[in-house]
Amino acid sequence: MISGQTLLKRGEVPRSFFLIKEGTFRLGSELFKPGSFMVAIEYLLEESLESDVVAETDGIVVKYDKSDITSNDEEYRSILRYLVELLSGSLMKQVEIEVIGDFERSVDVAKIAEMIDETEGEEEILSALEEMLSIQKLPDLPDTPKKAKAVVEMVSKEEDIIRYVLHRLAFVKKFPSMKESREYILDVIRTYMDEMEDRYGAMYAIKIVLLMYPNDDELVREALRRGAKISRMNKDPEWFEYLIRFLVRFPEEEVSMDEIS
């Protein structure tokens, strides 16, 4: 292949997949170097490509299809290894994994068990599980802050605590500079953590504060303290980073380990 040449086009369903022997190839924002397999997943799942596959440099690729997979032990092992490495996360870790732009809830295994008990038929169970894997969206709010606020204030915590937090999050996302957003995001953090015991939801809201309100001392103070606490509860080494950020930001203040344990 020559640099700049298109190997496969966007929208195509690959009829084979490729091992890169030399050179660099691009699929969307992903770069593939020698030793990588390209479009193996799209080939196996018969899915269309989301972008063109283009040679970034001159290169050589080896073409594979199913008969190659089944006939050669060594090649099978290397393809299997490639997929297992992707799945085990070692390649995933090279991709940024902090998802903030979309809202995803943590999942309570006991609730799933309850749901499966109440659902009949394997197909229904599987489609319910598949639905859980899709990203949950925030509610749509009116385009003017006044009307949006009216909608948000109508949702009562006592009636439906989940809708309560989702509506507040939607307002914050849509109107981040309104003073109500500041109150709402603090309310969301406290509700998630203190009333719902939802660490993941709380972390999501904490990250919104740190990204969008870094100059608001009161919000940042609460976010960093709670971030340290939740990270420690999750046994995540990130907790140390939150603590350091707190101490750098508020050098006159102290944090006792009791507060974040």
Partner 1 sequence: MKSLELPSGSIVLAPDQVPDSVYVLRRGYLGIFDRLERLMTVVYKEEPFGLEAIFDLKTFMYAKALIQIEVEMYDPDEFLQSLRSSSRVDLLRILSRRIQHVKRRYHLKADERMRDLIKDFKDNGLSNNEIRSMALNFSVSDALAFERVKGEFGV
| Shortest Å distance, C-beta 189 to partner 1 | 16
Return the closest-CA partner of residue 165 out of 132, 129, 190. 190
Residue 10 found at the interface with partner 1 (CB under 8 A):
no
Query: Tokens 């999501």 appear where?
Result: 204
Residue 158 found at the interface with partner 1 (CB under 8 A):
no
DSSP character at residue 7 = E
Using the rule CB under 8 A, which residue among 12, 180, 222, 241 binds partner 1?
241
Residues 24 and 32: beta-carbon distance below 8 Å: yes
Residue 45 found at the interface with partner 1 (CB under 8 A):
yes
Name residues whose C-beta falls within 8 Å of residue 259's C-beta, 6 or more positions apart in sequence: 225, 229
DSSP character at residue 251 = T
Residue 112 found at the interface with partner 1 (CB under 8 A):
yes
Return the closest-CA partner of residue 244 out of 227, 219, 230. 227
Using the rule CB under 8 A, which residue among 16, 34, 51, 125 binds partner 1?
125
Q: What are phi and psi of 84, to 5 degrees?
A: -65, -40
Tell me the window of 37-45, 51-59, 153-161, 253-261 that interacts with partner 1 (CB under 8 A).
37-45
For residues 61 and 51, what is the distance between their CA atoms, to the nearest angstrom? 18
Q: For residues 2 and 133, which CB has a smaller minimum distance to partner 1 in the complex?
A: 133
For residues 26 and 59, what is the distance between their CA atoms, to the nearest angstrom? 12
Residue 35 found at the interface with partner 1 (CB under 8 A):
no
Residue 143 found at the interface with partner 1 (CB under 8 A):
no
Name residues whose C-beta falls within 8 Å of residue 127's C-beta, 6 or more positions apart in sequence: none
Structure tokens given for 230: 């939740």
Q: Which of residues 202-231 bind partner 1 (CB under 8 A)?
A: 203, 210-211, 214-215, 220
Q: For residues 58 and 140, which CB has a smaller minimum distance to partner 1 in the complex?
A: 140
Site for partner 1, rule CB under 8 A? 29, 40-41, 44-45, 47, 66, 69-71, 76-77, 79-81, 83-90, 92-93, 95-102, 104-107, 109-110, 112-113, 116-117, 125-126, 129-130, 132-133, 135, 176-177, 200, 203, 210-211, 214-215, 220, 234, 236, 241, 245
